[in-house]
Structure 1
Amino acid sequence: MSRLFRITAVAALGVSVATPPMAPPAFAQTQAQTRPASSGKALDGEPTPAACAPFGFRLPQTQREVARSFATPIVVTGSRVQANAAPSAPPPAPPGVPTNTERYPDATPNPVKRTADQPVSTFSIDVDTAAYANVRRFIDEGRRPPKDAVRVEELINAFDYGYDRPTSQARPFSVTTAITASPWAAGDGTPQADRGGRQIVHIGLQGYELPEAERRPLNLTFLVDVSGSMNSPDKLDLAKKAMNLAIDRLRPQDSLAVTYYAEGAGTTLAPTPGDQKLKMRCAVASLYASGGTAGATGMTNAYDQAQANFARDKVNRILMFTDGDFNVGVTDDKRLEDYVADKRQTGIYLSVYGFGRGNYQDARMQAIAQAGNGVAAYVDSLREARHLFGPAFDKGAFPIADDVKIQVEFNPARVAEWRLIGYETRLLNEEDFANDRIDAGEVGSGASVTALYEITPVGGATQVPERRYPDNRIGIGGGDPNGEIGFIQIRYKQPGQSRSELIQQPLTNAATGPVGAQPPEATRWALAVAAFGQKLRDDPWMAADYGWDQIVEQAQGARGDDPYGDRAEFVQLVRAAKDLPPSRTP
């Protein structure tokens, strides 16, 4: 077992920043049902100063007391933490609007490919939804999101499409396909039938939902950024609420450790059984924000804690809560990514939950989460936290497949050209598909993945101009003009395994006649979301006359059953986006 970090000045760590008033959390509402542990300490309840004292946590009740605690020295022992790593008081907020240092991965929209030149598309799946919540945050603030912040696949995958569910972990994915006319193909107001005949290929993967009896025990480690940049209601305060929602879902067979990092790193809670929820809540309540951000040191400590309670028959996962703004120690994204990729081989997953605005480092968090075989999410509100750590918790906690890749081969006799909508940061080489050493995305219990292609059938008006020399032109070379549109392959690994397995399915529709005038509701909704994302990015493949009103109309016609109001909220986002002013600053 790796050495645990010992905190010798508990009072300096046992503080909390006052949070704005809110409705009592679920654990407070059920306090009357609390049953005592054999030691006489309560197992669950509200983490008040009195309730936390028996566990060694002291929770100051005023902001003045928090400020006084910064003067108390902290001594942290451990091979990777400097002994003089004491927190400093957070600097005063600068006047006016803070400098915006947010960073996003470069994501130029995918180009149109000639099938005769490049018939195969290969990419890693992406079940992340961070971009949707982040785009919503920008629009709610009355600002147009940066183009690179709009990852269209993450907007699409933020919704449930009701795909048919697989019945066995042995084949953990079902595949649903549909082909329909492209609603936004260029045409300057001409009828769709005269718009060149472009079509949308809709591919949906639905993951197997693990029954309760098949869900392995969780060995979770919270890795919490408590640097000065997290001292905000939409950062550490919101992260604490999210952590308590995760604690709500823990079972007795699960365990949780709580670690933190600022200028140094430490552990406030060693691995603790899942029924000791009050102790966990007290550990979370004791966290406060100050000082620099030694994210790499914090990651090392978190992996140590996860390894201390590691078991092959558990799901071993670190949940990182941060704005991603590292400024102490190792801060290079590539070095961090390499470190996490090495640790992935030990069987410990790493998921990243982003918070805040102004200094949100999306590019770093995407890189870390992808390298850690985990999910990346953005928490813009308590409602999003309730979603991620409520209905969606199992999708992020219990893996059903690792290194999931999709490959689509188009028939050149049926498809003249194609483009993949989104997944710009997840593209793979064709030869990567069968190489089990190439990393790809993880899929959790009950999660789904949606991919859309826009294709031009042979004979339609192509977007790539005709070439001069006959041997280079579209339509030369093989393929059955009455055969399949294409061929879909999914490669995946069972969790913890090193050899991949394969699912194959042809992509078919009638070779003659128009495509269905009324595609399934799932396809129509996916088209609305894809149009929204492409419009926000000002993609060049969208017709100038396909505007916000058309997107609203498309969405309104596909809302269907909407028990949580997610689709209604989307429609309002589209309407709000229509009135956004152009960006005034880069």
Structure 2
Amino acid sequence: FVRRQLNQGVLPQKDAVRLEEMLNYFDYDYPLPDSRETPFKATVTVTDSPWKPGNKLLHIGIRGYELPRAQHPASNLVFLLDVSGSMNSPDKLPLVKQSMGLLLSQLQPSDTVSIVVYAGAAGTVLEPTPASEKQKILAALDRLSAGGSTAGGEGIQLAYQLARSSFKKDAVNRVILATDGDFNVGITSNAELQGFIERQRDEGIYLSVLGFGQGNYHDQLMQALAQNGNGVAAYIDTLGEAQKLLVDEASSTLFPIAKDVKLQLEFNPQAVSEYRLLGYETRALKQEDFNNDKVDAGDIGAGHRVTALYEITPAGAASGLLEPSRYQPQQPAAEGHASEYGFLKIRYKLPEESSSRLITTPIPVDGGELPARMARETAFATAVAGFAELLKGGQYSGNWSYQDAIKLANSNKGEDLYGYRSEFVQLMRKAEVAAAMK
């Protein structure tokens, strides 16, 4: 959405900028885990904040185990496609058809595909069909046309019914909803719709949401549905974006290697006086829910990268925003831990398990010099986060500017195999121009 707005020469609305999604749009070259049994590895680095002298940026990077293609689990996919009248534009239903065609190229011959559509009513366009019958599936997609009102809830019920009818144990059973987000008939209560999707998730059928078009896209609802369905929510505005999500990143989109992944960071009050998490406002977790295995959280797919940034004020630094407390003296750190900024805990479940496992990582104050590769990746992520903060109004960015963000990103693009980072730098330049014209 940010890209679409900037390509039209305007700044996106501040509330539409989700820092964590911009940050996680890019793959970062984090170290790989050694085995599927420990399905991801956490990399933690600490660097100086470029926009607040005296502050530090604590960078947490996670990379999932990459499944060899021969180890990909079977897939039972139901495409739930919105063919209502609102989808009748080139960047909607025609792009949906092209996107689903791209996804087919990533499936194994024995995988199963079904197609459900909804408009004034929901209907089955394609009964469960082996992916080996690609021409049959493509022909079913090609026959679709837009028209009618929207019965999103009704369509979802039928899609899950089909997914259950062809359910495969030890496979990925997933409904993929492609829509412009205009749900106005069917299950009209958002709470009821989310509850329905949660129950299906507990039965082993997940939901991912692909958004198309603009104008009536209900972004918050789409995000909530995907989160409750243990899936991804992504916005596709071009065929190139469909290629990125459904071909280049198909493994991380389709194949979970860990579920209910939760991160908790405990800061050492002797070393850190203030901290803030950059982004993730819609994914905050209550402290008491971290150890509760009944509380749902996000999944990590094969090869998936997840990045989070904290800005911290070291104890004693003059760069903080808060006045010292009159009544709350600084608590000393536990004995033996004075050299740590904090302690990272990660809980996760393997896909077939119901009890979580725990990974812990202390964060040293002196982590030593970063390897060149990690210094580059950390710097690029910092540029992305700083740019997102500027788009959101720059409340914490001080005098840091678009030009500073552009310089930092441009000098740390790395190999940039698919050109995503170069494209991002061009968007930053468009934002600079758009901001100057306001």
Check whether TM > 0.5.
yes
The aligned residue for residue 387 of structure 2 is 532
In the alignment, structure 1 residue 139 sits paired with structure 2 residue 6? yes
- Is 2:390 aligned against 1:523? no
**Gap change, CA 1:225 and 1:583, over 3 Å in 2:** farther
- In structure 2, list runs of 5 or more residues that go unmatched: none
> Shift in Å at residue 501 of structure 1?
1.0
Distance 1:413 1:313 in 2: 48
> How many residues were matched structurally?
436
> Once the two structures are superposed, what CA deviation does each residue of 1:158-191 show, in whole Å capped at 9, x if it has no partner?
1111111012110001111111100011xxxxxx
Provide the TM-score with structure 2 as the length reference. 0.96
Give the match for residue 363 of structure 1. Answer: 220
Give the Å deviation of 1:478: 3.5
Which of 310, 321, 331 pairs up with 2:188? 331
- The CA deviation at 1:563 is 1.4
Matches within 5 A, 1:295-444: 295-444=152-301
One-letter amino acid of the structure 1 residue matched with residue 429 of structure 2: R
Question: 1:483 deviation in Å?
Answer: 2.1
The answer as to whether partners of 1:262 and 1:294 remain within 8 angstroms in 2 is: yes
**Which residue number corresponds to residue 260 of structure 1?**
117
**Match of residue 106 from structure 1:** none
SS at match of 1:234: coil
Give the whole-Å Cα distance in 1 for the aligned partners of 2:200 and 2:125.
Answer: 22
Give the structure-1-normalised TM-score: 0.72
- Could you say if the C-alpha distance between residues 502 and 304 of structure 1 is closer, same or farther in structure 2, counting changes exceeding 3 Å? same
The 2-side partners of 1:377 and 1:333 are apart by 19
Point out the structure with the larger strand share.
2
8 Å CA contact 1:412–1:479 kept in 2: the answer is no
Aligned to 1:570: 424
Q: Secondary structure at the match of 1:580?
A: helix
Which residue does 1:102 correspond to in 2? Answer: none
State the one-letter code of the partner of 1:410: F
Classify the secondary structure of the residue corresponding to 1:559.
coil
1:492 aligns with 2:359: no
**1:388-415: per-residue Cα shift (whole Å, max 9, x none)?**
1111111111110111100111111111
Identity %: 47
Q: Which residue of structure 2 aligns with residue 169 of structure 1?
A: 36
Q: CA deviation at 1:143?
A: 2.0
Q: CA deviation at 1:553?
A: 0.7
Q: Is the 8 A contact 1:234 1:380 kept in 2?
A: yes
The equivalent position to 1:291 in structure 2, one of 128, 135, 148, is 148
Partner of 1:204: 61
Q: 1:581 to 1:175 in 2, by over 3 A?
A: closer
Structure 1 runs not aligned, ≥5 long:
1-133, 186-194
- Encode CA deviations 1:405-460: one digit per residue, 9 max, x unaligned: 00111111111110001111000011111101111001111001011000011110
Q: Which amino acid aligns with 1:137?
A: R
Q: Answer yes or no: is 1:552 the counterpart of 2:409.
A: no
Q: Which residue identity does 1:454 align to in structure 2?
A: E
Report the residue type matching 1:180 in the other structure.
Answer: T
Distance in structure 1 (CA, Å) of the matches to 2:121 and 2:21: 34
- Secondary structure of the corresponding residue to residue 136 of structure 2: helix
Equivalence for 2:360: 504
CA offsets per residue over residues 347-403 of structure 1, 9 Å max, x none?
001000000011111111001000000000000101101111111111111110111
TM-superposed deviation, 1:332: 2.7
Contact kept? 1:401, 1:494, Cα under 8 Å: yes
Shift of 1:320: 0.6
Task: State the partner residue of 1:233.
Answer: 90
Partner of 2:91: helix, strand, or coil?
Answer: helix
Contact preservation (8 Å) 1:404, 1:441: yes
Q: CA deviation at 1:468?
A: 5.4
Change (3 A) 1:411 1:500: same
Task: Please identify the structure whose Cα radius of gyration is greater.
Answer: 1
CA positional deviation for 1:272 = 0.5
Contact 1:245 1:390 in 2 (8 A): yes
